[in-house]
Amino acid sequence: MLRFAILELLERKPLSGYELKRRFQGSIVFFWRANHSQIYRELKLMEKDGLVVGSKVPHDWRPTKTVYAVTSKGREALVEWLREKPKLRGVKDEMMLKCFAFHLVPPEEAEAQLAHHQKLHQQRLEEYLKIKKQLEDRHGQLLETRDSILFWNALCLYQAMDHERMYVEWCRWAIARHKEFSAGNRPAARDGRENDSHGKLAG
């Protein structure tokens, strides 16, 4: 899995392990991440498998780096993988796992955790918006591009933003429901429910 993420980036431009790590930050982080120890190890394995070749690039100052480029074998492996039907993999979400047992903690704490999580996702959303803005400044309206790399990149970015937005909204909604629950209110909130997301969507 990780090796395909690496191949995708190297296919655009040969990079060293360190540069690769930085590229992850700016694009693939949306849906994949890895730390440097993982990346360096994987690069060596991939070289052994003939998917990439490394070449040493000396520097005046700074340590010599090894820049990796995709081989034709690597490119084939990447395309082959891209054409496979992806299977639907399960979500793993620590916050939700906790939420599932929040009846075991004091209600204020549960609510504080929801609020905290909302903030984290909000922040992440804002980072993504910043990245979007940068791309737009450089390339204009993303969806009007003729560049297929940029086009798919944009779709991915939108997906990542949708995800964060959904999460933020859910947190907000959950906190409101929880307040009602704690107060023991039933009917007062009912009229309002038609106007929030779950009133519309959950039917």
Positions 45 through 74 that interact with its own copies (CB under 8 A): none
CA dihedral 188, 189, 191, 195 (to 10 degrees): 160
| Residue type for position 44 | K
Q: Which does 188 bind (CB under 5 to 8 A by kind): DNA, its own copies, none?
A: none
143 binds its own copies (CB under 8 A): yes
Q: Which does 186 bind (CB under 5 to 8 A by kind): DNA, its own copies, none?
A: its own copies
Question: Is 61 within 8 Å of 18 (Cβ atoms)?
Answer: no
Question: Is 8 within 8 Å of 78 (Cβ atoms)?
Answer: yes
Burial group, residue 164, by CB count within 10 angstroms (0-12, 13-18, 19+): buried
Tokens 């060596």 correspond to: 44
Closest to 3 measured CA to CA, from 30, 42, 33: 42
Selected binder of its own copies within 60, 62, 101, 188 (CB under 8 A):
101
29 binds its own copies (CB under 8 A): yes
- Residue positions counted in the chain: 203
Q: Which does 201 bind (CB under 5 to 8 A by kind): DNA, its own copies, none?
A: its own copies
Taking the least distance from each CB to its own copies, the nearer of 55 and 123 is 123
CB of 84 to DNA, least distance (A): 13
How many residues of this chain interact with its own copies, rule: CB under 8 A?
80
Taking the least distance from each CB to DNA, the nearer of 52 and 154 is 52
CB of 184 to its own copies, least distance (A): 8
Element (H, E) at 101: none
23 binds its own copies (CB under 8 A): no
Q: Which does 99 bind (CB under 5 to 8 A by kind): DNA, its own copies, none?
A: its own copies
